[in-house]
C-alpha cells in the first residue's frame, strides 16, 4: 500500500515536472499575416494571442534587461549590456520568422528598463535622478533600441516592481542575500552607517523585475551572474512553496487562472566579448560609475577631446611590446578588448596582425582613441536628436510602461492568488 502510494507520488511528481517544463514555453499563436510586422507580438496583458492564419504554435520568448540610471552611462554599460540588447533585438525581431529546431516559430518580445528604483539603493541626488533616467532611456534609443521592436520603460513607472519585490522579500532567506558578492563590495565601500536595507535586498528587486515578465532570457554582464542565480533560486522556492497541490489548484480555479507555477526560471545570456570592460586606471577592477576618478572610465557622451585625453593618460604597464591575454598584464588586455569591441567588424586575429609590430603604448593609444571616438560619434549624434525631442521620448516611455504594466499586473495577480491573498472583488 505504502509502496504503491510512493510510486504514484513519484509518477505525479514526474508528471508535474513534465508539465512545468513544457509550460515554460507558454505557447502562443500568432498571426502569420504579412501586414502586421513580426515585431512586438503581444503587448497585451494576456500571454496568448489568437490563431489567425495557421494553427502552428509559436513560442513567446521574452528578453528583459536593465541598466541603472546613475549619471551618464559609460563604455562598460554600453558594450557590456546595451549593445548586446541591440544585437539580440535585430537578430530576433526581423521581418522573417525565427524558427526553433523543430520548426516552430519563436516570437521575441524585448523589454528594456531604466532601473531607477535600483539607483536609489546607493545615496543619490534627487536633483539628478530625473535627468539621468531620461538620459539613459535616450541612450538606449540612440544605441539602436527600436521602440517598434522593443519596449523601453522606467522601472518606477510600473508599480508592480516595488510590490513584487516586497512579496519576494518575504520568501527570500536572509542568508541567500548575505552571500551576494556585489552587496559585500558595495557595503564595504559605503561604510556600514550608510548601507540602506534597499542595498541588501537589491537582488530581490532585480528578481522581481525579471519574474514579473516571465523573462526566459536575461542579457547581463558577468558580474550579474550571481544575481540571476538568486532569481532562479527564488523562482524554485516560490513555486515549491505556493504553486503545488490541491489547495493551489483550488485557489487558481476560484480566480479563474491556470494552475501552472507562477514563475519560470530565467536564463542568463552572458556575453563574453566586451562584456567586461575594466577601469582605465586599474585593469583588475570593473569600469564603474561609483569610482570617484572620472579618468577611470569613458562615458558614452564624452566629447572626442575628453576621450583622447583619458586614453592618453590611462594606465598601461612597463612590459615590453603589446600583448593580449597575459594575466600579468590586465591593463594591456583591457585596452585591446576595448579596441576590438569598438570595431565589431574586425576579428582578434586581424587586430593582432595590426599591432604585432607596435613596440609601445604611445603608438597604440592614438589608434585606440580614434576607434572609440569613431564608434561613439553616431550614437552621440542620435542621442542629441532624441534628447531634443522630449515629446518623442515621453511617448516611447509611456507606451513602454503601458505594455509593461499589462504583463506585470497579470503576473502580480497570479502571485497574490498563489500566496493566498484576499483578492479585491
Ligand atoms: N543589477 C543590474 C546591473 O547593475 C541592473 C538590473 C536591474 C537588471 N534589474 C535587472 C539587469 C533585471 C537585468 C534584469 O547591471
Atom of ligand 1 nearest to the CA of 209: 12
Gap from CA of 67 to ligand 1 centroid (Å): 6
pLDDT digits (tens, 9 = 90+) for 322-375: 889 999 999 999 999 999 999 999 999 999 999 988 888 999 999 999 999 999
Structure confidence at residue 36 as a pLDDT band (50, 70, 90): very low
Atom of ligand 1 nearest to the CA of 215: 14
DSSP state letters, 399-424: HHHHHHHHHHHHHHHHHHHHHTPPPP
Gap from CA of 177 to ligand 1 centroid (Å): 16
Atom of ligand 1 nearest to the CA of 205: 9
Sign of the CA dihedral with 134 first, then 131, 406, and 167 last: positive
Per-residue pLDDT at 21: 40
Percentage of the chain with pLDDT > 70? 85
Gap from CA of 59 to ligand 1 centroid (Å): 25
Atom of ligand 1 nearest to the CA of 203: 1
Q: Mind spelling out the 3-state secondary structure of 214-257?
A: CCCEEEECHHHHHHHHHHHHHHHHHHHHHCCHHHHHHHHHHCCC
Sign of the CA dihedral with 245 first, then 246, 249, and 251 last: negative
Atom of ligand 1 nearest to the CA of 202: 1
Per-residue pLDDT at 8: 54
Residue 131 has pLDDT above 80, yes or no: yes
Strand, coil or helix: what is 57?
coil
Q: Which helix (H) or strand (E) holds 55?
A: none
What lines the ligand 1 site, CB under 6 Å? 64-68, 115, 118, 206, 209-210, 218, 220, 224, 227
The answer to whether residues 158 and 404 touch, using CB atoms and an 8 Å cutoff, is yes
Whether pTM exceeds 0.75: yes
Residues that are catalytic:
186, 286, 289
pLDDT digits (tens, 9 = 90+) for 285-305: 888 887 889 999 999 999 999
Gap from CA of 38 to ligand 1 centroid (Å): 27
Q: What is the mean pLDDT of residues 115-141?
A: 95
pLDDT digits (tens, 9 = 90+) for 39-72: 555 444 344 444 444 556 788 899 999 999 976 7
Pocket probe mutation, ligand 1, options 62, 64, 65, 66, max atoms within 8 Å of Cβ: 66
Residues of the chain by 3-state class (helix, strand, coil), percent to 5 = 55, 10, 35
Structure confidence at residue 25 as a pLDDT band (50, 70, 90): very low
The domains located in the chain, with CATH, are 9-275+400-419 (3.40.50.620), 294-388 (1.10.240.10)
Per-residue pLDDT at 55: 53
Identify the residue whose C-alpha is closest to ligand 1 atom 14.
65
Pocket probe mutation, ligand 1, options 62, 67, 83, 162, max atoms within 8 Å of Cβ: 67
Structure confidence at residue 253 as a pLDDT band (50, 70, 90): very high
Pocket probe mutation, ligand 1, options 133, 206, 219, max atoms within 8 Å of Cβ: 206
Gap from CA of 81 to ligand 1 centroid (Å): 10
Percentage of the chain with pLDDT > 90? 66
Gap from CA of 206 to ligand 1 centroid (Å): 6
Amino acid at each position: 500500500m505504502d509502496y504503491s502510494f510512493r510510486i504514484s507520488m513519484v509518477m505525479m511528481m514526474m508528471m508535474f515536472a513534465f508539465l512545468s517544463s513544457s509550460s515554460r514555453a507558454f505557447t502562443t499563436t500568432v498571426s502569420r499575416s504579412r501586414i502586421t510586422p513580426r515585431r512586438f507580438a503581444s503587448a497585451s496583458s494576456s500571454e496568448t494571442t489568437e490563431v489567425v492564419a495557421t494553427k502552428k504554435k509559436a513560442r513567446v520568448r521574452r528578453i528583459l534587461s536593465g541598466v541603472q540610471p546613475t549619471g551618464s552611462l559609460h563604455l562598460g554599460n554600453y558594450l557590456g549590456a546595451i549593445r548586446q540588447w541591440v544585437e539580440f533585438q535585430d537578430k530576433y525581431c526581423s521581418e522573417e520568422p525565427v524558427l526553433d529546431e523543430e520548426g516552430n516559430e519563436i516570437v521575441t518580445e524585448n523589454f528594456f528598463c531604466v532601473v531607477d528604483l535600483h539607483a536609489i539603493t546607493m545615496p543619490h541626488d534627487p536633483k539628478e535622478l530625473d535627468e539621468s533616467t531620461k538620459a539613459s532611456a535616450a541612450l538606449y534609443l540612440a544605441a539602436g533600441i527600436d521602440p517598434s521592436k522593443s519596449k523601453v520603460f522606467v522601472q518606477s513607472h510600473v508599480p508592480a516592481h516595488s510590490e513584487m519585490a516586497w512579496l519576494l522579500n518575504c520568501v527570500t532567506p536572509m542568508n541567500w542575500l548575505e552571500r551576494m558578492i556585489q552587496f559585500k563590495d558595495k557595503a564595504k565601500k559605503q561604510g556600514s552607517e550608510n548601507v540602506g536595507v534597499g542595498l541588501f535586498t537589491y537582488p530581490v528587486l532585480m528578481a522581481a523585475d525579471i519574474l514579473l515578465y516571465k523573462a526566459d532570457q536575461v542579457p547581463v554582464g558577468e558580474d550579474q551572474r550571481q544575481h540571476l542565480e538568486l532569481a532562479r533560486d527564488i523562482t524554485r522556492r516560490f513555486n515549491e512553496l505556493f504553486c503545488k497541490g490541491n489547495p493551489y489548484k483550488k485557489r487558481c480555479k476560484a480566480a479563474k487562472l491556470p494552475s501552472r507555477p507562477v514563475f519560470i526560471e530565467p536564463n542568463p545570456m552572458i556575453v563574453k566579448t566586451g562584456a567586461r570592460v575594466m577601469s582605465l586606471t586599474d585593469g583588475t577592477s570593473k569600469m564603474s560609475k561609483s569610482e570617484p576618478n572620472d579618468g577611470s572610465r569613458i562615458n558614452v557622451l564624452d566629447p572626442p577631446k575628453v576621450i583622447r585625453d583619458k586614453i592618453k593618460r590611462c594606465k598601461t604597464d612597463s612590459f615590453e611590446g603589446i600583448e593580449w591575454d597575459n594575466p600579468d598584464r590586465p591593463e594591456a588586455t583591457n585596452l585591446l578588448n576595448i579596441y576590438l569591441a569598438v570595431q565589431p567588424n574586425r576579428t582578434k586575429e586581424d587586430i593582432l596582425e595590426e599591432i604585432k609590430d607596435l613596440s609601445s603604448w604611445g603608438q597604440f593609444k592614438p589608434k585606440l582613441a580614434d576607434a572609440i571616438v569613431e564608434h561613439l560619434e553616431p550614437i552621440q549624434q542620435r542621442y542629441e536628436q532624441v534628447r531634443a525631442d522630449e515629446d518623442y521620448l515621453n511617448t516611447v516611455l509611456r507606451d513602454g510602461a503601458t505594455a509593461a504594466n499589462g504583463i506585470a499586473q497579470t503576473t502580480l495577480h497570479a502571485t497574490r492568488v498563489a500566496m493566498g491573498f484576499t483578492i479585491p472583488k
